[in-house]
Amino acid sequence: MDPECSRLLPALCAVLADPSQAVADDTCLEKLLDWFKTVTEAGSSLLLLQENPCLVDLLSHVLDLKPQDVSPRVLSFSLCLAGTFAAQEDCFEYLQQGQLLLGLFGEAGPLSWAAWSVPTVRSGWIRGLRSLAQHPSGLHFLGNSGAVDALFSLQGDSSLFVASAASQLLVHVLALSMQGKAAGSPSSQGNAWPACAQKIVDHVEACLCSTAAPQVTQALNVLTTTFGRCHSPWTEVLWGQLSPLVAHLLESDPIPAAHSLVDLLLSVARSPVFASADCGLWETMARMLSCLSPTQAGSLALGILKLQHCPQALRSQAFRVLLQPLVCILRATTQAPGPPGLLDETSAGSSMMVDTLLSSKSACVGLLCQTLAHLEELQPLPQRPSPWPQTLLVEAAVIILQLCDGSAVPSSSEGGRLCGALAGCSRVQRAALDFLGTLSQGISSRELMPQVFAVLLETLESPASSPMVLKKAFQATLRWLLDLPSPSSCLDLGPHAPLFLRELFPVLQKRLCSPCWEVRDSALEFLTHLTACWGGEADFREALLASEVPKLTWQLLRDPESYVRASAVTAMGQLSSQGLEAVSESPGHPEVQQGLIGELLHILSMDSEGFPRRAVVRVFTEWLRDSHADVARDTEWFVATVLQMVSQDLDWEVRAQGLELVRVFLVQTLGQPNPHCPYAVTLPKVTPPGPLPEVLRTLCQLQIIDFAFRALFDCDRPVAQKACDLLLFLREKTAPCSGLQEPGNSSDVTSVEATLHRWQAGEQSQPLGNLEPEELLAALRSLDLEGFQGRLAESSDHVEKSPQSLLQDMLATVAVLEENVADCY
């Protein structure tokens, strides 16, 4: 431990032990515990206690206080702290000698105090025991101190946090007591379980037989965690012993704690211990699938289908359960039946499904959303059922969307009722669009495309579609368009895409004019992605240029909403990269005269918000990288102009992005950074456009050097870091030039250094002036850039986070706590 911390610790312990002193907030105590945990993990706890007796004094003092005087926060902290120390067996013995642990965790301790009613204390008690239960002595202590019984009752605690922690601890204790017993695992006849484990197993058994649902839930939760965490052979014996009781639960109607039961069965099925064994699990699962309500059965079915190994019959049953709601929807509408075996099955389950779907609007919405989400999750998995009824699923998603937007024509009374329940339901629309988007993957047939595109267009066009629905519709459309076969030629797009595009652009146009910024933004994001992928396609270019979309996008550069302006900048950047901005040809637009570059520079210098300015610099960086025609015309002027604006920017992310632009420029001018790996393939070197001194002179004239040096002392760390990397790169690239004549007048370098020092001290008003290449090189050499890099790499709040700072703050706060009453943001 840091000597300064050792010095501060006694005072802090004294404060904590004194009930009349108000202690800083919970976060400080939590951070203090974090620190002790780090210290004890790195070294001997016993030594720590011996060197800092104030810690043991604190624990004893807390026990000596009158129970009513104890602050629950300090008590909870002390319990956690004692547990942290006792995690090491020698330290445990040391604390036990003074009966401290029994005092803190035994029946006569806080368990029986009034403070026990405070959940933080109960939580601290459990956390303390959890830390302590690491070794046989700790386990023995738990068994003998009555703690396990207390944990049983804490499973039903009024606090979720406490109840859950108690349950977790029981599992930990069970696992700990079984540790090393793997070879001689207990027989199913019992008696061979260690005492502590036996106690827990008995308790779980009793709970499983209980008629009270909370008790059953508690037992199931303990078992779920056990099978999830422990994969030793004894778990198989445990399941063998308890599975009849679990199976028995299925005989009740309704099934108690169905949700927890599903979790348990899946947890057992996932355990590698049961990979080859059957142990009646599949049968139980099959039974459960058939008797659960459709909503509950859905999650079990999904879990089964995600299993790596599982009997085919059960998988088929699970898949039928999962598909049933969609099958009902298709039946109730005019759709042709899907593959045999999925639709022609009439079972008790399916009539229950219809009942659920039609019972109420919320039941229908809930079940459909859940089903769609489950299938969406399953779609990309390798273990999804095969054959995968892609066509049926696409049809179902399309029909659901039609039911939502009111365009479906129901063929039966059920269909009519479904129409009523789903019409205008944006929740189902969102889920269906997400699902439909995923279904674009692996679509083999083009047959369904007209239907899909039609429903997407309908949704995009509908005035009733909410902004979120539109966003998802754009995303789904994008996925379907991008998942079309590679557009190497127009013919490859097939007949649908060009047709669709012609209809899509008018809709996009309308959405770019939406009064909701969310919609305008989603439309712009869609346009950007689509252009990036399809910008070279003749059909796409033709449809885009025939529309008003480029012009509207340009207009959105002046949108009142900054998010939209930023997206418009990105979209225009992309359009321009592909030569699609088009507006420049139409006369009568004053803004067009100055060109897009002028407009973007205007945004960079004038926009009051960071997003659009950041977007502009990103676009410029891309343009520079791709040698965009407007940039290539006069790259130096371009870089100098951008940097002049960026260097004044208040947003550090704009400045950082500006440095990225500089980096691209330097790489283009000086070549790639040298590979540091000796085995790396050396790329052919870019030859600088002229002799190095000339290049350096240009860099200085363009104010690139001034910008980079200023950025090195930026008050925002990422900017300084980036500048440092940049200067290191520059130094490396100019190293061959080190033979360059030293500057004749050394006072020039001194003045540069002096300016840099002033900048470092925060006085940045003085300019660096026009540097000569020699001065630049000298300045680069004189700066300890590696040292800078090291300091910057260390998060700048490491001082704040240090334990010393924490101890100082906690001590200092005590005096003023009463003065500054709680004030909240």
Partner 1 sequence: MPEIRVTPLGAGQDVGRSCILVSIAGKNVMLDCGMHMGFNDDRRFPDFSYITQNGRLTDFLDCVIISHFHLDHCGALPYFSEMVGYDGPIYMTHPTQAICPILLEDYRKIAVDKKGEANFFTSQMIKDCMKKVVAVHLHQTVQVDDELEIKAYYAGHVLGAAMFQIKVGSESVVYTGDYNMTPDRHLGAAWIDKCRPNLLITESTYATTIRDSKRCRERDFLKKVHETVERGGKVLIPVFALGRAQELCILLETFWERMNLKVPIYFSTGLTEKANHYYKLFITWTNQKIRKTFVQRNMFEFKHIKAFDRAFADNPGPMVVFATPGMLHAGQSLQIFRKWAGNEKNMVIMPGYCVQGTVGHKILSGQRKLEMEGRQVLEVKMQVEYMSFSAHADAKGIMQLVGQAEPESVLLVHGEAKKMEFLRQKIEQEFRVSCYMPANGETVTLPTSPSIPVGISLGLLKQEMAQGLLPEAKKPRLLHGTLIMKDSSFRLVSSEQALKELGLAEHQLRFTCRVHLQDTRKEQEMALRVYSHLKSTLKDHCVQHLPDGSVTVESILIQAAAHSEDPGIKVLLVSWTYQDEELGSFLTTLLKKGLPQTPS
Residues 674-703 within binding reach of partner 1 (CB under 8 A) = none
Distance in Å, CB of 622 to partner 1, minimum? 17
User: Among 308, 351, 362, 594, which residue interacts with partner 1 (rule: CB under 8 A)?
Assistant: 362
State the minimum distance, in angstroms, from the CB of residue 733 to partner 1: 27
**Interactions with partner 1, residue window 468-487 (CB under 8 A):** 468, 471
Q: Answer whether 157's CB lies under 8 Å from 163's CB.
A: yes
Binding string, residues 451-470; x marks residues near partner 1 by CB under 8 A: ----------------xx--
Cβ proximity of 16 and 23 under 8 Å: yes
Q: From the list 716, 725, 732, 753, which residue makes contact with partner 1 (rule: CB under 8 A)?
A: 716
Q: With contact defined as beta carbons under 8 Å apart, do 92 and 138 qualify?
A: yes
Cα–Cα distance for residue pair 449/453, rounded to 1 Å: 6
**Complex with partner 1: residue 30 or 634, whichever CB lies closer:** 30
> Closest approach of Cβ 168 to partner 1, in Å?
12
Which distant-in-sequence residues (6+ apart) come within 8 Å of 382 by Cβ? none
Burial class (CB in 10 A: 0-12, 13-18, 19+), 374: buried
Q: How far apart are CA 218 and CA 232, in angstroms?
A: 22
Question: Does residue 717 belong to the site contacting partner 1 (CB under 8 A)?
Answer: yes
Give Cβ neighbours of residue 763 (< 8 Å, ≥ 6 apart): none
Closest distance between partner 1 and the C-beta of residue 277, in Å? Answer: 28
Q: Which of 10, 19, 67, 119 binds partner 1 (CB under 8 A)?
A: 119
Half-sphere exposure of 516 (CA within 13 A, CB side): 13
Sites for partner 1 among residues 11-70 (CB under 8 A): 24-28, 30-31
Bond from prior residue into 294 cis (ω within 30 degrees of 0)? no
Return the residue of 610, 671, 673, 688 that touches partner 1, per CB under 8 A.
610
Question: Of the candidates 626, 763, 767, 782, which one interacts with partner 1 according to CB under 8 A?
Answer: 763
Q: Closer to partner 1 by CB, 497 or 711: give it.
A: 711
Kindly provide the residue ranges of all beta strands, DSSP E only, lying in 84-137, ordered along the sequence: none
DSSP 189: T
Q: Which region among 46-54, 117-125, 383-391, 551-559 touches partner 1 (by CB under 8 A)?
A: 117-125
How far apart are the C-alpha atoms of 741 and 193, rounded to whole Å? 84
Question: Which residue has 């002036």 as its token pair?
Answer: 769
Residue with Cβ nearer partner 1 (176 or 262): 262
Nearer to partner 1, 336 or 824 (CB): 824
- Residues numbered 157-196 forming contacts with partner 1, rule: CB under 8 A: 158-162, 164
Segment interacting with partner 1 (CB under 8 A) among 138-146, 199-207, 772-780, 806-814: 806-814
Interface with partner 1 (CB under 8 A), residue from 185, 198, 641, 764: 764
Tokens 């101190």 belong to residue: 145
Going by C-alpha positions, the residue among 143, 218, 221 that lies closest to residue 176 is 143
Q: Is 558 a binder of partner 1 (CB under 8 A)?
A: no
CA torsion 716-768-637-665 (nearest 10°) is: -50
Which of 236, 395, 458, 521 contacts partner 1 by CB under 8 A? 521
757 burial level (CB within 10 Å; 0-12, 13-18, 19+): exposed
622 binds partner 1 (CB under 8 A): no
Q: Is 156 in the site for partner 1 (CB under 8 A)?
A: no
725 part of the interface to partner 1, by CB under 8 A: no
69-98 positions binding partner 1, by CB under 8 A: 72
CB of 694 to partner 1, least distance (A): 33
Given candidates 78, 84, 120, 131, which one binds partner 1 under the rule CB under 8 A? 120
* Least distance in angstroms from the C-beta of 419 to partner 1: 13
The reply to whether 718 sits near partner 1 by the rule CB under 8 A is yes
Write down the H helix ranges in 629-772.
Answer: 629-632, 635-647, 652-670, 692-701, 704-712, 717-734, 746-760
How many residues bind partner 1 (CB under 8 A)? The answer is 77
Q: Which of residues 570-589 bind partner 1 (CB under 8 A)?
A: none
Name 777's Cβ contacts closer than 8 Å, sequence gap at least 6: 696, 734, 737, 738, 740
d(CA 375, CA 369): 10
First-to-last alpha carbon distance for the chain, in angstroms, is 35
Give me the least distance between CB of 373 and partner 1, in Å please: 6
- Cβ(310)–Cβ(304) under 8 Å? yes
Residue nearer to partner 1 on the CB measure, 307 or 373: 373
Give me the least distance between CB of 727 and partner 1, in Å please. Answer: 19
Residues 412-431 that bind partner 1 (CB under 8 A): 420, 427, 430
Is residue 511 within the footprint of partner 1 (CB under 8 A)? no
In the three-class reduction of DSSP (H, G, I as helix; E, B as strand; rest coil), residue 192 is classed as coil
